[in-house]
Structure 1
C-alpha cells in the first residue's frame, strides 16, 4: 500500500490524497460503507459500485470468523472472491465486537475469551490469532487487535488498557511481519491509537503508534458516547502527532457534520453504520438536510429524494413513493434509503475533496455542515 498526499487546504488541516492497494486506488478523504458480515445491509455489490460509487468497503473479523467461518473463506480464496467485491476491503479486528460482549468475555494478557452470540460456543481472540484470521479473510487493510474502552472510563482503567493494547500491538506486528498473505497480494496492517478522552494517554498512544512506522494509522475509541467537542479535541491532538505522509483512519465516525469537521482536522478515512442503520428506520441524509421519510409532510411530495446527487435511488424515486414503501413495510423502501444514504456520504466526501484541491474547503465547510445537519 502507498499513500500520496496531493493537496492540503490552506486554512485547515484537510488533505486530499491517493491510497494505492492491490485491489485498486482510493481517493481520500473517503467514506467506507460497513459490510460487517461480508455484505453491506440491503445493498448489492453492483449497487455499491455503480450507484454508490464506493471505493472500499469494510468487513468484520469477529462476525466473519463465526460465520461463514475460516474454512469457507479459505476455500473461496478470501473475502474478495467469496462476496464478489473486486475493490479494496478493510477489516476491523473484531476488538470492538468482542469487548461489547461484556457479560460473556474475559480479558487477559493472552487475549480475550468470549462466547459466540450465535450459539454460545467459547473462543479465544489473541493478537496472533486475529492476525492469522485476517490473513485468511484477505482484506487489503487489516486492523491491529486492541481494547476499545467504554465512555465514560476511569483514568486508571484507560491507562492499563492502553498499556495492554500497546503490548498487543507489538505482538500483532511480529506475527504480521513473520507471515505472508495467502492469496498472492500484499496486505497492510494499521495500528490503532487509544487512550479514551485523556490527553496525556492519547498523546502517549499517538507517539507510540507513530514510532511503529506502519503504512497507515487508525484512531479508535471515539464516537462511543463522548460529546462531539471531546471527539474533535482528541482527534486534533492525535492528528498533530501521527505522520503526515500516512493515511489517518478515524474509526466509527459518524454524522455528515462529524465527517466534515474531522476532515478539517486531518482525517482521511471514515466508516460508520449510521447511513444504512438510519436508512432502515426512514432517516435520509440529503444535500439539503435530514429527512424523516415516514413523516406525513412527504405524503404528496413527488420531488426526488435529492436532485443534487446522480444515482437512481436519489433521483428516480419520489419522496412520496419512498414514504409509501415504508408505510407499507415493503423491503424496497429500506433498500432505496440505504443506497441513497451511502451515495450521499460518498458524494459529501467527494465534494470535500474538490474543495480541498481548490483551496476553498475552510470557507465551504461551515455552511455545508449547517446545511446537511438541519432537519427538514
Structure 2
C-alpha cells in the first residue's frame, strides 16, 4: 500500500476511547501523522495559528460545547480546503442532513461513518479520499458585473463534458455540457461561484448562448457525434423570455444541427414554482424535437401535477439519493418511488453521481436507464473526449466483469 505519511489528519471527538481507536486504525492504513482533539474549539484555534490546513478531518457530531454542526459551519467560514468525514452514532437521517450541511457550507465531504466504526467502511472512504487526489479549493471571490461582461466578451467561459451512458449495454448516450470559468488569475472557477451572479446581473441568456455555441464548436471534432446528444442546462430566468429560446434555435439551425442532438435540463424547483410561461416554451421545444429533462430531482418540493403537465422525457435523480442506494435506507425508498414515477410518466431515469460498483449493479438490475458519475468519468475538457470514447468500451467490460465476480 502506498504510504501517505505526508498527509496530516485531525480526529475531533469528545470520547477519548473513540479518538485512540480511530488513530490506531488510521496508522494501520498508513496515515501516521494523526492529531487527536476532544474540543472542537481548540481545533479552530490551532487552524488559526497554523499555516495551512490538515488534509483530512474526522469529526464527531454530538459533542459538548461546540458540536460538530457548528464546527462544519466554522470550517466553511475559514475556507477549509481539506476533506471531511463525519463519524457519529446518530440516526441515518441526522447524519445525512449533517453531510448536506457540509456541502451547503462548501466543505468537501468525503463521506460518513456510523459508530462503532467498521474497518471495511473506513478503508473504502480512505480509498475514495486518496483516489480523488488533491481537493479543489473553492475561492469565495466576489465578481463584479464588469468581470462577468469581460469574461463573456473574451470567451473565458468554457465547457467541460460529462458522459451519460446506458446502464443496459454501456452505449454512450451523450454528454452534459458543464460551464467553467477559465479565469486569468483564479484558474478554473466552478459554476457555484458565478452562476448566481450572472443571473443577478442579467447576463444568463448571454452565458447560455455561449455554452451552446461552445458545445456546437467542440462537437464538430468528436467522432460519431451524429449519435450523441448534448445536454444543456437552462436557467428559469431564460424560460420567462420567449424570444431567447427562438434565438437559441436559430443558432442551432444555422450550424446545421438537428434538434434531436440537444436535450435541455431544467432544475426541478425552478420550474415547478411557476409554470405559465415555461410551459409554453418547453412544450414548443418538444414540438420542435428537442429533448427535455428535469434535473436534480428530489432536491426541491415535488409537484406531481407539474411532472404530468410538463413534457419532460427524462428524470435525473440527484446524486445524494444515488450514493449508497444499494445499502438500503431512505435513499433506497426514495429511489424506488422515483423509479415508479418515471415509469408512470413514461420518462427515462438517469442516476447522477454514480461512484461505486455496488450502486451501479443495483441500479442496473432495478431498471435504471442511464448513469453519470465518477465511476464512468469525471467532467473533462473537449480535447479528452475522443480518447475517453476509445477506452470506454474496455472500461465498461471491466465494470461488467466486476459485477459478475
Structure number with larger C-alpha Rg: 2
Q: What's the TM-score bracket when you normalise by the shorter of the two chains? A: 0.3 to 0.5
Q: Which has the higher helix share?
A: 2
TM-score (norm 2): 0.38
